[in-house]
Structure 1
Amino acid sequence: MSALDAKKIAEAEALMGQVDSAPDEYAKAGMYFKAATAYRLAKSSDKSKDCFLKAIDCYENNKSWFHAAKSYEQIILLAKENGTLSEVEEYANRACSLYQQHGSPEAAAAALDKAAKMTESKHPELALEFYKRALAVVLIGDATHQASEFASKVSRILVKLKRYEEASKALKKEISLNLQTKSYGQVGRLVVALVLVQLAYGDLADAKKTFKKWGNRCEHQEVSTLQKLLQAFDDGDQELAAKVLASPFIRHMDVEYALLSKNISMPQCIQNGI
């Protein structure tokens, strides 16, 4: 054990020895929190987590919902440091609920966003649920701009997971949110993304409906790209479809959609003109 670790453990134990003399629950929670932080710096994770949980009990007894939620976020950071990401789901959701109880939807959504970013690479399905809940939280507060950001994250993970029909619904929601905020510059690219997703699961009819409904929101290059692509699928022209899907415009889209374009193939029935 290093000298610094020993110093921090001594500091934590001294605080724990003073807890019973604390004047109230709030003061007791503060001592537990400081002890937890000291244990964490000393890399004594189990003791740190135990102290944070005791601090949370005290904060909740004192109805200090915000501070209790902050303590849960500290446990989440411990889980990240220890590689025990399986614990993140429970504590992130608890933090979110407490922030909402306190009346802080922004903090609730931010906690879920952090948890999603922490888990996305190894547990994308879990990150997806965090982003979905964050979207629901900000929509309750009518924060439409922030909602469109979370909707984008939901759509992209669904595409990454190849859950294309769900991604189609998510993209429609994302388009609707961007229209509400008059973020018209985003809509055209989203329409292209939606058409790509619909073609990925073989629904040419729905892709045509998408273009008919929102094509007037697209820029010239977006319109041209979609017209050529949909015509190629309509005609069963595999060569033209491949050319459009490999175009610089498509390849320079957000990475999830650029990768998706490489995996879109024309159904055999369309190629044969059936």
Structure 2
Amino acid sequence: MSMPKLAIDCYENNKSWFHAAKSYEQIILLAKETDKLSEVEDYANRACCLYQQHGSPEAAAAAMDKAAKMTESKHPDLALGFYKRALAVVLIGDSTHQASEFASKVSRILVRLKKYEEATKALKKEISLNLQTKSYGQVGRLVVALILVQLTLEDYVDAKKTFKKWGNRCDPQEVNTLQNLLKAFDDEDPELATKMLASPFIRHMDVEYALLSKDVPLPQGNRQMTKNGIDNAAN
């Protein structure tokens, strides 16, 4: 990697920020080919900074996106950081549509990593962005996802508040599922909760949320009962 680094030094000395950033991206590709993905973080962040210095926020966000996709399967924590930075970059440029895409990736990785407290904040941000772009079809699903996370945290009060605040953005199927799910917790009815969590609608959500539904503790139940109950209901 010495040749690309020499080129970067030359570009930076001449304040050719864009070309220096491109050279860092070449190093990232070499790191992928040599399976040294843990080294990607520093190079990707430098590329992002240089693109921003050049006044190219789109290229900066794209560099973060590429690095995230490259590391997501083996190093999801790294990918999470890249998607967060990409989100921050596009928000500076007021690109709300693109921001909602990165916000979605942040939310899903947080759920996969079981960082549920942070995931609730990320999902609320994602809902807000989709409301700004009038992507109402997405909002309903995100409300369901947020309530699943809150129920996993056993935060039933906040789950009810979420439904009260954004339930009117859900379609009839989503409303019916959530009403019955929350009723199950109100009535401490594990059978109804199991049935709702195993509904085809929830099972066909993004994979992170579909898997999460198996970890939601049943009313007065434990996690193992939840998993067994949902699996049986789905069969």
User: Shift of the alpha carbon at 1:265?
Assistant: 1.4
Structure 1's unaligned 5+ residue stretches are 1-48
1:144 to 80, 91, 96: 96
Structure 1's 240 and 267: CA in aligned 2 closer, same or farther, altered over 3 A? closer
Per-residue deviation, residues 117-149 of structure 1 (Å, max 9, x unmatched): 111111111110111111000000000000000
User: Shift of the alpha carbon at 1:202?
Assistant: 0.5
Structure 2's unaligned 5+ residue stretches are 223-235
- Write the distance in 2 (CA, Å) between the matches of 1:159 and 1:203: 16
Per-residue deviation, residues 89-113 of structure 1 (Å, max 9, x unmatched): 0000000000000001110011011
Indicate if the aligned counterparts of 1:202 and 1:267 stay in contact, CA closer than 8 A. Answer: no
Q: Which amino acid aligns with 1:178?
A: N
What does residue 25 of structure 2 align with?
Answer: 73
Aligned to 1:208, what secondary structure does the other structure show?
A: helix
Q: Spell out the pairing of 1:147-186 with structure 2 (5 A cutoff).
A: 147-186=99-138
1:195 to 127, 132, 147: 147
What does residue 179 of structure 2 align with?
Answer: 227
User: Shift of the alpha carbon at 1:269?
Assistant: 8.0
Q: Which amino acid aligns with 2:185?
A: F
Higher relative contact order (CA 8 A, sep 6+): 2
Q: Spell out the pairing of 1:47-66 with structure 2 (5 A cutoff).
A: 49-66=1-18
Q: Which amino acid aligns with 1:176?
A: S
- Write the distance in 2 (CA, Å) between the matches of 1:104 and 1:97: 10
User: Shift of the alpha carbon at 1:268?
Assistant: 2.9
Indicate if the aligned counterparts of 2:123 and 2:146 stay in contact, CA closer than 8 A. Answer: yes
- State the TM-score, normalizing by the size of structure 1: 0.80
Per-residue deviation, residues 199-255 of structure 1 (Å, max 9, x unmatched): 011100000000000001110000000000000011110000000000100001111
1:105 to 47, 57, 62: 57
Q: Which amino acid aligns with 2:44?
A: A
Q: Which has the larger radius of gyration?
A: 1
Per-residue deviation, residues 141-163 of structure 1 (Å, max 9, x unmatched): 00000000000000000000111
Q: Which amino acid aligns with 2:68?
A: A
- Write the distance in 1 (CA, Å) between the matches of 2:217 and 2:138: 26
Larger deviation, residues 103-112 vs 261-270: 261-270
What does residue 89 of structure 1 align with?
Answer: 41
- Write the distance in 2 (CA, Å) between the matches of 1:66 and 1:193: 39
1:122 to 67, 74, 80: 74
- Write the distance in 2 (CA, Å) between the matches of 1:266 and 1:254: 21
Identity of aligned residues (%): 82
Indicate if the aligned counterparts of 1:144 and 1:177 stay in contact, CA closer than 8 A. Answer: yes
Per-residue deviation, residues 20-48 of structure 1 (Å, max 9, x unmatched): xxxxxxxxxxxxxxxxxxxxxxxxxxxxx
Aligned to 2:160, what secondary structure does the other structure show?
A: helix
Indicate if the aligned counterparts of 1:196 and 1:260 stay in contact, CA closer than 8 A. Answer: yes
Aligned to 1:268, what secondary structure does the other structure show?
A: coil
Indicate if the aligned counterparts of 2:90 and 2:99 stay in contact, CA closer than 8 A. Answer: yes
RMSD: 1.1
Aligned length: 222
1:250 is aligned to 2:202: yes
What does residue 38 of structure 1 align with?
Answer: none
